[in-house]
Amino acid sequence: MAHEHTSRDTSATGTSRSPAGRIRLLKTGIPGFDEILGGGLPMHSLYLIQGLAGSGKTTLACQMGFAHARNGEKVLILTLIAESHAKMINHFSNFSFYDETLIGNRIMLHSAYASLAKGGLRELLRLITASLAEEKPGILIVDGFRSVRSASPSDLDLSEFMHSLNSLVATMGCTTFLLSPVEGNVPDSENTLVDGLIELSQYEQGMRLVREIKVFKMRGANHLLGKHAFDVQPDGIVMYPRLETTVGKKNVPAPASSEYISCGIASWDRVIGGGIVKASVTNLLGSPGVGKTSMGLHFIDQGLKAGDPCLIVGFFESPQRLIEKARRIGLDLGSPHAGGQLDIMWQLPLEVLLDELACRILDNVRQRGVKRLFIDGVEGIRHLAMHPDRAPGFLIALVNELRVNGVTTFVTEQLPYFKDNACRSNSSASALYENIMLLEFVEHEDVHYRQISVMKLRENGYDNANHLMIISDQGVTVDGTISDIKKKLPAAS
């Protein structure tokens, strides 16, 4: 299923000036790709797109080709593989970017395999020169470029060919892509003598697999470093720049606020000194069933009463179950959800791209002007991280973007059923959140009661005692301190 990406241009092609103002950049027409490239591809340059079979090289190049052909530019595809053009066309005809009327009109396909087999690199270069002179394309795609290496030229011959090809495409004003089924940034002529080196790969973890792109080099562009995930959808390839790189590159600090807003539970607001700071991030840390989600629903309900657009992101309980859960504690979330004031984004934490999820969350926040966000189960986000060490940096980037957008956020995090100090000390919550509230079960006379306390609360005075928390069909309330109430609680029968 294709997703919306309103925070980035998903279809525009053409050219633009680089930030320095001297190099013209070619827009790729692929969602997210221009952002990874630092604005686009420097025009009239030679690029190597490499990756093993099935990585998406041909789809990527042809999708760019069709995008520019629709804008009236001519695209030439030269094949150095035995696969017929009819079969090649059939492979990408299932994508929505395919337009049959462009084939033979704006998109020309020529076979160069016979020239290479017959006369080697010189004959191939002669064919490319003649084809560029005849067709005058703005984009040239050479598919199966690994055949050039397989033709067994000497390193000197291959270097001379690459130099000649680079000069040719620059002179003819043709942005050129060489597609090769290899991996790795190795010191071969193909890699060192091109203007840009882009690699598509697949990363496996257990039974899961994710497609990734990495830009090794890009002359004349300020591209994003490292790996970025992408997906092949019915509309074609969609790329998701790694959130840590985009947020880190902007490095926008969140504004300070002195305004306090209610948590939605009046008795708890009094304990914590009047509420929480606006645009802060609060962690509800506790055991399963202790009441974290119920507190989060109160927080959202308070925002809805104030007329704020709100968003719930959940991983384990469906929207219908959350609405029913709220009803059982006296909160009506069904009406504002039906009316559009509340949106509930439910995503099973299975095989979903982490950055695609972040894109959907942030797009929703910006489009709807969300003021309150409740993320129910940060474990779902951590589970989606294919690279386990990514989760802390990703969460830091996500919560910073939420602060910058003026969103006040509650996030639940699960602890084991019973106290475990080692688990608490290993929590990364302190580095992520301004506020941390601990919800626990406390045993008294063989009965488990709920208690709530403040572990961390910035810019506010609060009562640091453990307080009794009660959940009923009237909602969540906070009573006096546990130490005082224990004296009054009846013993278990």
Taking only the tens place, the pLDDT of each residue in 14-55 is 766 655 557 789 999 999 999 999 999 999 999 999 999 889
* Fold (CATH) for 13-241: Rossmann fold (3.40.50)
**How many Cβ atoms from other residues are within 10 Å of residue 416's Cβ?**
9
Helix axes 155-172, 113-135, angle to 10 degrees: 20
- Which is more confident, 205 or 341? 341
Left (φ > 0), alpha (ψ -120 to 50) or beta: where does 380 sit? Answer: alpha
- Which is more confident, 185 or 354? 354
* Fold (CATH) for 260-486: Rossmann fold (3.40.50)
Domain ranges of the chain: 13-241, 260-486
Q: Can you tell me the distance from the alpha carbon of 182 to that of 53, in angstroms, rounded to the nearest whole number?
A: 8
**The length of the chain, given as a count of residues:** 493
Q: Residues 99-103: contacts with CB within 8 Å, 24+ apart?
A: 99/66, 99/69, 99/70, 102/66, 102/69, 102/70
**High-pLDDT (> 90) share of the chain, %:** 67
With cut-offs at 50, 70 and 90, classify the pLDDT of residue 490. low
Q: Can you tell me the distance from the alpha carbon of 12 to that of 24, in angstroms, rounded to the nearest whole number?
A: 15
pLDDT digits (tens, 9 = 90+) for 191-246: 888 999 999 999 998 888 999 999 999 998 899 999 999 999 999 999 999 999 99
List the structure tokens of 127. 């064919």
pLDDT at residue 431, as a whole number: 72
Q: pTM above the 0.85 mark? A: yes
AA identity, residue 388: P
